[in-house]
Amino acid sequence: MMTYILTSLLFAALLTYLIFRAVSISRNKQRPATDGYFISSQTQSNERLASLGLDVPSENAAHILDKTRLSVPDEKAPGEEMKFEPDPETAWIIELAPAGDAPLRKEYLRNMFDAKWHTEFESEIYGLIPGDNRWTFAFAGGAPDLFSKIRIAVDLKEIYKDDEPEIDSRKLEGYLTELESRMKSYPVAARLQPMEPVADAVVKARKLVQRYHGFNIDAIIVLHGERPFNGMAAWDALLSVGLSWGDGDLFHWSNYDSGYGHDQHFSVWTSTAPGYFLPEEIKAGNMHPGDLIFGFSVPRSADPEHIFDAMLDAAKYCQQRLGGILVNRNGTMLQERQEKDELHELVREMKEEGLMPGSDGALRTF
C-alpha cells in the first residue's frame, strides 16, 4: 500500500513538473532559428497542411466551440481615437522639457537614448507633438522630428516583477542618475522632473507586482495518456473539435474577430518534446504526444469562465476519441466544480481591483 502511495505521489510530482515546463514553453513561443522555425502567413500554413493531407478532419464537432456560448464585451466604440501616452497608473514617469522655447530634436534624443540606454534602462519614450497637444512614441515610424517635451515611462511591474519582496528605490534612482549624466552632453538646456517622488513610485510598484503575481494565472486542463497518444489521431481530434493549427505550431481557438482580449481564446500544446506540433513529424509518425495541455491566461481572456466551459468540453471530446484521464495543473484528478469555483473567485477579485479580464489594462499588465 505504501509503495502504491509513493508511486502515485512521484507520478503526480513528475506530471506537475512536465506541465509547468510546458506552460513555460507555451508562454514563450520564440524558438531558435536552428529549430527550423519560420514565419508564414495563414494561407501558407493552410497550403502546408493541405499538401500533407492534414487539413480536413474526419468528423465535424466544431459545435462544441460555438462562440455564441461566450459573452465578450464590445470592442472600442467606432471613431474612438487610440492614444499613445504613458499610463500613470502603471508607470513611473519622468518628464524632460527644454529650459527655453526651443523644441527637443529627435536626432539629439536618439543619441541620448541610445542602444545602451534601452538595454540597461527599460523604458518607453514618448514625445508631445508641438501645437497638437498629443503624445506619440518618440521613435516610432512617422513620428515628427520636434517635440515640445518628452516623457520617459518606466513600467514598474516589468522592472520589479522578479524582485519581490526586495523592492526598493535603487533601480529608480539609477534612472535619474543616468539621465542626469546623459543630459550633460545634450546640446540644449533642459529640465528633468519626475512626475511623482521615487518613494511613491516604490509603493505603487509593490502594489502592481503583488497584483501581477496574484492574478497572473493560467487555466489549465491536461488530457494525460496512460501511454502516448497516436500522433495522427490526436491531430485529427483537435482539428475535429474546431481548433486551428498555426501560431507557434500549436492548436488554437482563435479570437481575431472580437477586437477584445487575447488573440486566442485558448491553445493546446504538450509536455512531450518539443512541446508543439510539427505537421511533418505528425505525418511521418515520429511524434506521439504523451498529453494534450489545454490552457489560457485568465487575466488576458475575453471571457474566462465561459471559455473554460468550452475548453473543458473540447478536452472531454478529445478524451472520448483518444482515451486518457483529465487532470489539473498539479497532476491530480480534475475536479470540475472546484476548478470553476476557483476561476469564478479569481475573476471576481480581479474585477474588485478594477481590472477587467481581457481589457487593454489587463493586456498591458499580463
Q: Which residues are within 8 A (CB) of 146 and not within 5 positions of it... i.e. 6 or more apart?
A: 103, 104, 105, 106, 130
Q: Residue 284 has which C-alpha cell? A: 511521418
What's the rounded Cα separation, in Å, for the pair 216 and 166?
Answer: 19
Residue 257 sits in the same domain as residue 233: yes
Residues 240 and 361 in one domain: yes
* 83 assigned to some structural domain: no
Q: How confident is the model at residue 77 (pLDDT cuts 50, 70, 90)?
A: very low
- The residue with greater pLDDT, 41 or 256, is 256
Q: Do residues 121 and 244 share a domain?
A: no
Average pLDDT for 324-332 = 95
* Domain-located, residue 80: no
Is the pLDDT at 361 greater than 80, yes or no? yes
> Domain with 167 in it: what CATH number?
3.30.1400
Is 247 part of a structural domain of the chain? yes
Residue 76 in domain: no
Asked if 190 contacts 147 with a C-beta cutoff of 8 angstroms, the reply is: no
At residue 204, the pLDDT reads: 95
Does 49 lie in the same domain as 111?
Answer: no
| Residue where a domain terminates, one of 146, 180, 213 | 213
What is the average pLDDT across 69-73?
92
For the ranges 153-167, 181-195, 317-331, the one whose mean pLDDT is highest: 317-331
Amino acid identity of residue 160, one-letter, is Y
* Residue 168 confidence (pLDDT) above 70: yes
Question: What is the model's pLDDT at position 305?
Answer: 98
The reply to whether 230 and 342 lie within a common domain is yes
Question: What pLDDT was estimated at residue 31?
Answer: 37
My answer on whether 209 and 223 are in the same domain is no
| CATH code: domain of residue 276 | 3.30.1400.10
Q: What pLDDT score was predicted for residue 332?
A: 95
Residue 78 placed within a domain: no
Whole-model pTM: value is 0.80
Q: pLDDT at position 44, please? A: 80
Does pLDDT of 191 surpass 50?
yes
Q: Is position 85 within any domain?
A: no
pLDDT digits (tens, 9 = 90+) for 90-133: 999 999 999 888 899 999 999 999 999 999 999 999 999 998 88
Tell whether 43 and 108 lie within a shared domain: no
- Supply the pLDDT for residue 63: 96
pLDDT value at position 43? 79
User: Which of residues 190, 213, 236 is at a domain's end?
Assistant: 213
pLDDT at site 99: 87
User: Is 74 part of a structural domain of the chain?
Assistant: no
* Structural domain count of the chain: 2
Residue 218 CB contacts under 8 Å (≥ 6 apart), including other chains: 23, 295, 296, 297, 298, 329
The answer to whether 64 and 309 have CB atoms below 8 angstroms apart is no
The string over 189-219, giving b where at least 16 C-beta atoms fall within 10 Å of a residue's C-beta and e elsewhere, is: ebeeebbeebeebbebbbebbebbeebbbbb
Domain membership flag for residue 81: no
* pLDDT over 90 percentage in the chain: 72
Q: Is the pLDDT of residue 76 over 60?
A: no
| Whether residue 222 sits in one domain with residue 199 | no
The reply to whether 229 and 344 lie within a common domain is yes
Q: Is-cis flag, bond preceding 289, omega within 30?
A: no
Residue pLDDT, tens place only, 229-285: 999 999 999 999 999 998 899 999 999 989 999 999 999 999 999 999 999 999 999
Which triple of cell numbers denotes residue 109? 534624443
Do 199 and 224 reside in the same domain of the chain?
A: no
pLDDT at 30 over 50: no
Average pLDDT over the chain, rounded to an integer: 88
- CA of residue 212 relative to chain centroid, distance: 12
**Does one domain contain both 253 and 319?**
yes
Domain enclosing residue 321, as ranges: 2-28+35-69+216-365
Residue with cell 502592481: 208
Task: Please tell me the least confidently modeled range out of 23-27, 40-44, 127-131.
Answer: 23-27
Q: What angle do CA 245, 250, 251 make, to 5 degrees?
A: 50
The pLDDT, as a whole number, for residue 132 is 84
Select the more confidently predicted residue: 40 or 151: 151
Domain boundary among 182, 213, 244: 213
* Same domain membership, residue 120 and residue 134: yes
CA atoms within 13 A on the CB side of 333: 3
pLDDT 10s digits, 139-153:
998 899 999 999 999
Distance in angstroms (rounded) separating the CA atoms of residues 249 and 244: 10
Q: What does the alpha-carbon distance between residue 164 and residue 156 come to, in Å, rounded to a whole number?
A: 12
DSSP 115-167: HHHHHHS--EEEEEETTTTEEEETTSTT--SEESEEEEEEEHHHHHTTTTT--
Q: Is the pLDDT of residue 23 over 70?
A: no
Per-residue pLDDT, 165: 75
First-to-final CA distance of the chain: 44
Q: Decide: 202 and 169 in contact? Cβ < 8 Å.
A: yes
Choose between 353 and 83: higher pLDDT.
353
- Computed from CA positions of residues 132, 135, 138, 140, in that sequence, does the dihedral angle turn out positive or negative? negative
**HSE on the CB side for 355, CA within 13 Å?**
23
